[in-house]
Amino acid sequence: MKDIYRYLGRPDQLWGAEESRLVGGRGDGMRLLTVNNGAGMLLTISEDRAADISRLSYKGVNLGYFGPSGYVAPAYYSGESGIGFTKCFTAGFLTTCGLTAVGSSCEDEGEKTHVHGTLMHIPAERVNVVAGDDAIKVTAEIRDAALFGVKYLMVREYDIPVMGGGFTITDRITNIGSKTQPLMTLYHFNMGYPLLSPSAKVAIPSNKVTPRTPRAAEGTGRELVMEEPQRGFTEQCYYHDVIRDEKGIASAGIFNPDCGVGVKLSWDAVPLDYFTEWKMMGEQEYVLGLEPGNCHPDGRDVMRRQGRLRFLDPGETAVHRIRVAMLESEDQLPGR
């Protein structure tokens, strides 16, 4: 690798990271960190949206879904009664939901929760980039804290190999407060066109698949079949009891032979023991959500009633690690 420097003015010629700010519209002033790994993978980290991934492409092929709202700065979000989730949901390749609420809004023990929580509306602090010979490492802190309320600190790390097709996300979530608090997290990975099309092959190795709603039940047996965009399509969600290997790792993936590119997600299914598939085949709302998490998205009150709600004690840390790999053949899908 070192010999390559003889040909370069500086490493950024092939790999590295560049920070920029948006100008105009509701995204005005938002910080974006664009990482080029030198192997055809380009990802944009939205620093002001919990250091999530707004865009991801591989060898020129777009992989994620970019929502109708586009970039929306956190200051515009005002909860369910104002500019709420649907008008602020950029989606992108990854939106992280949590940290104390996921899914449906509800009232739980006197607290009103909002759709998919508020983490995604919190700007990251202390964003740091180290670009070495072998990897580009990005770290960021996201502080989900309130007076008289929850006090969580999430330290996110991206480990992006130079000249490799993929990356690892590691989140360390610590309760820095003095009270035990609920912990709900869901990693909302959103696949979009042209990766997502009727030609796409989807693999989610599962022991059992449960439709979330009667509408989802109408698609039983076709959960992994992607149709053409349809006007008036109503979303279908499925809960997968994913298969784990001997190390507790579960996987899901998608590959499209038309563009010769795919994505595989692998995660530790001990802390992240739930998996939701969000199948949305609508016109302009054409997206497949592959979503590992530590809960299902029916609301915190439901998780509590079912005795499934997780908690973090003061000083306790939860570690979530997800590997995102780029695929170049259908044979690389999990279960093949």
Fill in the amino acid letter for 307: G
At residue 184's C-alpha, the angle toward residues 203 and 109, to 5°, is 140
What's the confidence (pLDDT) of residue 336? 83
**320 — phi, psi (to 5°)?**
-120, 130
Going residue by residue through the chain, which has 336 residues, state the pLDDT in tens, using 9 for 90 and above. 668 889 999 999 999 999 999 999 999 999 999 999 999 999 999 999 999 999 999 999 999 999 999 999 999 998 766 578 899 999 999 999 999 999 999 999 999 999 999 999 999 999 999 999 999 999 999 999 999 999 999 999 999 999 889 999 999 999 999 999 999 999 999 999 999 999 999 999 999 999 999 999 999 999 999 999 999 999 999 999 999 999 999 999 999 999 999 999 999 999 999 999 999 999 999 999 999 999 999 999 999 999 999 999 999 999 999 999 999 999 999 998
Residue 1: closest CA among 173, 214, 125, 161: 161
What's the confidence (pLDDT) of residue 84? 84
Q: Which two tokens stand for residue 99?
A: 């940290």
CA 336/CA 334 separation, integer angstroms? 6
pTM here is 0.97
Residue 267: closest CA among 278, 252, 277: 252
Q: Give 2-332's CATH code, choosing from 1.10.1060.10, 2.70.98.10, 2.60.40.10, 3.90.1150.10.
A: 2.70.98.10
CA 139/CA 95 separation, integer angstroms? 17
